[in-house]
Structure 1
Amino acid sequence: MSSLRSDSRTSGAVRGSGWVGNSPQAEQLLAQLAPGERVELLFTTLRFQGALTPRRLLLWRGTFKVEHTELRRPLTVLESGSQSRFGEVVVLDGPEGAIELKMLSAAVFRAVVAAGRQRERNVPADPLRAAQGHRGASETPGVHRAGVGRASTPPRAEEGTGSPKRGFRARTIRTWQDAELAAVDHMHGLGFTDAQVTGPGADGGVDVIAWDAIAQVKYHSQPIGVGPVRELRGVADPHHHLLFYASGGYTASARQFADEKKVALFSIQEFGHITPLNPAAAQLSHRQAPTAGRSRTTSSRAQVPNPRATQRAAELEAQRQTVLRLITRVRAHTSEVQALPSNRYTKDLIKALKAADKLIERADSLLARSRADFQPHRGRKQLIAMADEKAREAALKLGMRA
């Protein structure tokens, strides 16, 4: 029987990848590879197992119930950058919306980003205008091909002096993750260049955060009431600009409260159009970029870090890595158990696998929340401790030594 180590298509990439040779993911990978299709890279992340070939990227998610996704090369990289000194993050445009690969090693990060560079070399300087110029007579304006992730007529972002030009990149909104990424792009265009998504499971009414701005994003059909807008106002610092993005509009009471408290209300639509809906939003849309003086202040603050804060951050990161290692061990053990013959399965074993899978997903979510910029040190520490507790409970369910 062929395995990842014995098969010539995968043998060169399996060592050190974290893949289990007889797992369901490995069996599916070998079954889907063409006879001459060689795997360039195998890797694992917090939520995915990946295989990169010259033609495509194959992703598997889950341990008990495995879900498979395939992306053709060149990949569409929506965002990429450093998440921490321990790993990198890449956001890809998938068939069902944005796919976030995080805590990647430097080598895996470079390979995934390089798999999308061919698209950058082949796309004209203005891809939207070029697409419109080549549209056939029977093709309707405003309708795009699946997976492109950009609207046909993107809104223009305001660009301030003294900062590099960065236009708002419209994207098709299919999921709430897409809506959050569109809000991040829009805030970048408004001058909040350090805006980023807070991560899954983040609470406090904040989905996107920057040094001097926070935003909430709601992607559903119902109008937003005054409650979520008031919640956003309650968690803000005095220096924060407040932005709210919604796809279903706002109630009259929400608009009145937003006008009184200077909360900028924006409408976000399916094809990526973002429109200001009240005076605060209109003012932000025409504001100047951050001044050079503020940039110098931020830069000088970054150059002289607080030693105590640096030490506390390092301690927290070390605790996170301990929990991550336990999570990885539990997932590897789960894959080994799932590779057992079907006649070895019992009701108790299936129950334990399901419980462990839920506990590990919860631990992942808690760790992600502990990285949110708006979390105080004590809150981060509590979230990491809760994640550790869930991971240890999952290990106990499977009879492992934590």
Structure 2
Amino acid sequence: MSHLRTDPRTSAAVRGSGWAGNSPQAEQLLSRLGHDERVELLFVTLRYQGALTPRRLLLWRGVIRVECTEIPRPLRLLGESRSSFGGTVVLAGPGGAIELKPLPAPAARVLAEAGRSADDASTPAPAGRRTVTADYTSGAPRAEPGTAEPSAYHPRVIRTWQDAELAAVDHMRSLGFADARVTGAGADGGVDVVARDAVAQVKHYSQPIGVGPVRELRGVADAHQHLLFYASGGYTTTARQFADERGVALYSVAEYGHITPLNEAATRLSARPSPAPSSSWSQAAAWGREVSAVRASRRAAELDAQRQTVLRLIARVRAHTSEIHALPSNRYTKDRIRALKAAHKLIERAESMLAKSQADFQTHGGRKHLIAMADEKAREAALKLGMSA
């Protein structure tokens, strides 16, 4: 007989739940429960096995390598839907939004009530704020009547990487980056969404994002820009540490469009004050455009000066590499010809990077990064020829 059926803490909830009494999840559940902690609900979804107690919600994921997530009560309900095929409940977890689906109607009702009771007990939201709940049946957002807000973020169902990028655009606009737009497939240079003062990368992967893509975003961005990263599969510990050190805002994107801040930088961005209203807004916007234009002009001049420095070094190296065809091929010139050919290849790569740095789709940070790489290749070429860089 199953231990879950005989244990008084779980016997009332196990019938019809889909839990197997001899599974690793069942063993972990019994070992984690307190002496007087009784289970109110056991359920199984596509991704999770769950157990709800008066103190917490325990969620297990995986078959071979079982991982457990604990969410203390009161639960925070982000959204819910019910249909003839079952219910869906979206809860806030330690690593972002957690979607539980499909759920039997009674299980969905119990979890939703556990979340709603927490909302009812919390402090009412300030005037002007509203709650948006995604209508999962139709895929369209649903808001409380009479409280629409143009800049508010509307969750959308995420089925493809294009959906994820569009959700990131909508979310960035809700944070105040009104000019956020998708850069376009194949021409992003490491950036998927760009605004005047922010850049973002979006990864619609099922696996956690490592430190590489986060470092790439930091490398192509301007020092004055906000950096945002959106991922569907979470982040590795190394990626989180790097993001915290470099001020990259990490967000989790759930399947039904809920976006959750995962670190301090993301929380700060999400808590930024909204733009100045009506009368003062146009004046502030005009002043901001003027300051932005001056800054952009200054940065463009700095980049042009750096580019000219690299071009002068390339011209000096080219003057030496022109000797390749003039030298006789013998054992005395063999090493010299090899060095000249290697320097010639490095110079070609440097020129290619300089040309790419002038492409329209590149951000200021991307141009700066490419010019720095071109300078590095040109200096390496000069060193191969014994020249002073």
TM-score (norm 2): 0.41
Identify which of structures 1 and 2 has the higher relative contact order when contacts are C-alpha pairs closer than 8 Å and 6+ apart: 1
User: Who wins on radius of gyration, i.e. which is larger?
Assistant: 2
TM-score (norm 1): 0.40
